[in-house]
Amino acid sequence: MKVIYPNQINIISGAGGWSLVLFIISLLLTVLFSFPMGIASAREIVDMAGRKVIIPDSIKKVYVPSAYGSYLVYSIDPSMLVSFNSPDKQYLNKAVHDLPDIGKLSGEDKQSNLERLHAAKPDLVIMWTTKKTSPTQPGRMAETLDQLNLPVVYAVAETFNDYPEIYLFLGNVLGREERAKKLSDYFRKTLTDIKNVVEKTSQKKRPTVYYAEKDDGLSTECDDSIHVEMLKYTGDTNIHRCHTSGHMGFEKMTMEDIYKYNPDFIIAQSREFYNSVVKEKDSAWQQVKAVKEGKVYLIPRTPFNWFDRPPSFMRLMGLKWLTNMLYPDEYKIDIIKDSREFYSLFLGVDVSDEEMKGIIYR
């Protein structure tokens, strides 16, 4: 840095000189206040929504309001989370067992949740969005994020195919590049392997699937809904066809609809429905092809649902399970072995064969 001595002041005392000084001061203030409070050392990144964000060089703790996002960050490094919400922590890393669920930053509990979040002292907020074109939060949520005085980055998942890129992006943001690349590579390979299997089977020969929701099994989803996205990856196998625009989900079915569809497979969310059809032999369902052929399956949901609600990274294991079920000759995997490896890699827990059988065949 060049020092200006008293005898040099006359050089800058003119109008042009003072303009230069003011410009330098303005530049320094701009740089200073472009950094969020508390960031001593920082770098600029471009998040997945195309926004330039200044984040700390070293990030130790993060707050992720979305379940989808927090589960994915968990798979990278659970020790970085300040908040976590999961009803089943038996097969999760101990790092999240005692974490609070800080909750949403809106609604009646907003103020108390903000206080809890400030006490947790995260370095960064990671927001989850499904659209690159509208990454910012509307109205009160935007104001709340501003109040946090923390850098905010957006991860964007328009489709399941975006997950490998999300892993790479968050790995860079969190300083966990090697770990994130390993998970991203696993994702890409699995999606490629399944795509190759499905493409070998003509559309006419692909099995049909009915996704049974609720305890009576008479609710389902449109084929273009995110809730049945995995059925797109298994060859567009969802038997119920409609468009989500104008539909709220949980489409109501009748038994006449089910008889008309006569699906090859039924996958069920509700144990009550599964038991009534498979174990109690509900007579109304016994004439449906999938039931007659013993192809009704209860979706695994430990520690997160393998198929839907919430649609998290755990769907990758669900996709392997589903593809093996629909194309057993083409996609030959040892589902117990593969599931154990997945739990070890993504969840950081060791699960025995017997435990995994209980998860899958509960």
Encode pLDDT of 322-357 as tens digits: 999 999 999 999 999 999 999 999 999 999 999 999
3-state secondary structure (DSSP) of residue 130: coil
Domain 42-183 homologous superfamily, CATH: Nitrogenase molybdenum iron protein domain (3.40.50.1980)
Q: Which fold has domain 201-360?
A: Rossmann fold (3.40.50)
Distance CA 314, CA 71 (A): 9
- Rounded to whole angstroms, the Cα distance separating 6 from 13 reads 11
Where along the chain do the CATH 3.40.50.1980 domains lie?
42-183, 201-360
Reported residue count of the chain is 362
- Give the HSE-up count for residue 354: Cα atoms under 13 Å, Cβ half-sphere: 0
Higher-pLDDT residue of 54 and 38 is: 54
| pLDDT band (50, 70, 90) for residue 105 | confident
* Integer-rounded Cα radius of gyration of the chain: 26
User: What percentage of residues in the chain have a pLDDT greater than 70?
Assistant: 86
Q: Residue 149: count other Cβ atoms within 10 Å of its Cβ.
A: 10
What's the pTM?
A: 0.86
Asked whether the beta carbons of 318 and 306 are under 8 A apart, the reply is yes
* Burial (CB count within 10 angstroms: exposed 0-12, middle 13-18, buried 19+), residue 20: exposed
pLDDT confidence band for 210 (50 / 70 / 90): very high
Is the pLDDT assigned to residue 143 strictly greater than 90? Answer: no
179's CB contacts (< 8 A; 6+ apart) are 76, 77, 171
Contact 213, 269 (CB under 8 A): yes
Cα separation, 139 vs 128, in Å, equals 17
pLDDT tens per residue across span 217-261: 999 999 999 999 999 999 999 999 999 876 778 999 999 999 999
Instruction: Please report the DSSP string for 234-270 in residue order.
Output: TTS-BS----STT--SSEE--HHHHHHH--SEEEES-
pLDDT, one tens digit per residue, over 257-276 is: 999 999 999 999 999 999 99
Question: What is residue 131's predicted lDDT score, i.e. its pLDDT?
Answer: 83
Tell me what pLDDT residue 245 has.
78
pLDDT at 246 (0 to 100): 67
**Mean pLDDT value across residues 46-61:** 95
Calculate the average pLDDT of the chain. 89
180-187, long-range: CB within 8 Å, 24+ apart, which pairs? 180/76, 182/345, 183/75, 183/76, 183/345, 183/346, 186/316, 186/345, 187/163, 187/313, 187/316
What is the pLDDT at residue 362?
85
